[in-house]
A and B are shown apart, each in its own frame.
Chain A
Amino acid sequence: MSTVVFARHAMTPAERLRDAGWVAFVGLILGIPLVGLTTVDVGGRLAVGTRFGLLAAAVATVFAGRLLLHWALDQARNRKLARARASTATAADRAHGAQKAVMLLGWVALGASVALPIFYSDNRYVVDTATTVLIYVMLGWGLNVVVGLAGLLDLGYVAFYAVGAYSYALLSTQLGWSFWEALPVSGALAAGFGILLGYPILRLRGDYLAIVTLGFGEIIRVILVNWTEFSGGPNGISSIPRPSFFGLEFARSAPEGGQTFAGFFGLDFSPMHRLIFLYYLILVLALLTHAFVSRLRKLPVGRAWEALREDEIACRAMGMNTTNIKLSAFAIGAMLGGFAGVFFAARQGFISPESFTFTESAIILAIVVLGGMGSQMGVVLAATLLVLIPEFGRNFAEYRMLLFGAAMVLIMVWKPGGLLSHREPTVRLNPLGKPAAAKEAA
Chain B
Amino acid sequence: MMDTNSPDTATATLLSVQNLTMRFGGLTAIDDLSLDVPAGSITGIIGPNGAGKTTLFNCLTGFYKPTTGSLRLDHPTHGEMRLEALPSHRVARDAQVVRTFQNIRLFPKMTVLENLIVAQHNVLQRASRFSIAGLFSLPGYRQAEKEAIERAATWLQRLRLEHLADHAAGELPYGIQRRIEIARALCVDPVLLCLDEPAAGLNPRESAELNALLLYLCRELGIAILLIEHDMSVVMNVSDHIGVISYGRKIAEGTPEQVKNDPQVIKAYLGEDDEDAENSGNAVTEGAAA
Show the binding face of A for B, using Cβ within 8 Å. 91-92, 292, 295-296, 299-301, 303-304, 306-307, 310-311, 313-322, 423, 425-430, 436
| B216 → chain A closest CB, angstroms | 22
Given contacts A319-B92, A425-B113, A430-B166, are A313 and B121 in contact (CB under 8 A)?
no
Given contacts A314-B105, A425-B114, A426-B114, are A300 and B98 in contact (CB under 8 A)?
no
B105's partner among A299, A303, A306, A313 (CB-CB below 8 A) is A313
| A315 → chain B closest CB, angstroms | 8
- Chain B residues with Cβ below 8 Å from A318 are 89, 92, 98, 118-119, 121, 184-185, 188
- Chain B residues with Cβ below 8 Å from A301 are 125, 128, 131, 134
Show the binding face of B for A, using Cβ within 8 Å. 61-63, 87-94, 98-99, 101, 105-111, 113-114, 117-119, 121-122, 124-125, 128, 131, 134-135, 145, 149, 152-153, 156, 162-163, 165-168, 184-185, 188, 289
User: A92 and B166: CB pair below 8 A?
Assistant: yes
Of the candidates B106, B131, B156, B166, the one having the most CB atoms from chain A within 10 angstroms of its own CB is B166
Given contacts A318-B188, A319-B121, are A430 and B107 in contact (CB under 8 A)?
no
User: A427 and B125: CB pair below 8 A?
Assistant: no
- Chain A residues with Cβ below 8 Å from B162 are 429
| B49 → chain A closest CB, angstroms | 21
B131's partner among A91, A299, A315 (CB-CB below 8 A) is A299
B135's partner among A295, A310, A322, A427 (CB-CB below 8 A) is A295
Given contacts A91-B167, A322-B89, are A304 and B63 in contact (CB under 8 A)?
no
User: A304 and B118: CB pair below 8 A?
Assistant: yes
User: B108 and A310: CB pair below 8 A?
Assistant: yes
How many Å lie between the Cα of A304 and that of B115 in the bound state?
Answer: 10
- Chain B residues with Cβ below 8 Å from A319 are 89-94, 98, 121-122, 188
User: A311 and B121: CB pair below 8 A?
Assistant: no
**Would you mind naming 13 contact pairs between A and B with Cβ atoms under 8 Å apart?**
A91-B167, A300-B121, A306-B110, A310-B109, A315-B89, A316-B88, A318-B92, A318-B119, A319-B91, A319-B188, A426-B114, A428-B165, A436-B163
How many Å lie between the Cα of A300 and that of B129 in the bound state?
Answer: 10
How many Å lie between the Cα of A319 and that of B95 in the bound state?
Answer: 10
Given contacts A314-B101, A425-B110, are A303 and B166 in contact (CB under 8 A)?
no
A303's partner among B63, B92, B117, B184 (CB-CB below 8 A) is B117
- Chain A residues with Cβ below 8 Å from B61 are 317
User: A429 and B121: CB pair below 8 A?
Assistant: no
- Chain B residues with Cβ below 8 Å from A306 are 107, 109-110, 114
Nearest chain A residue, comparing its CB with the CB of B156: A429
Nearest chain B residue, comparing its CB with the CB of A301: B131
| B219 → chain A closest CB, angstroms | 25
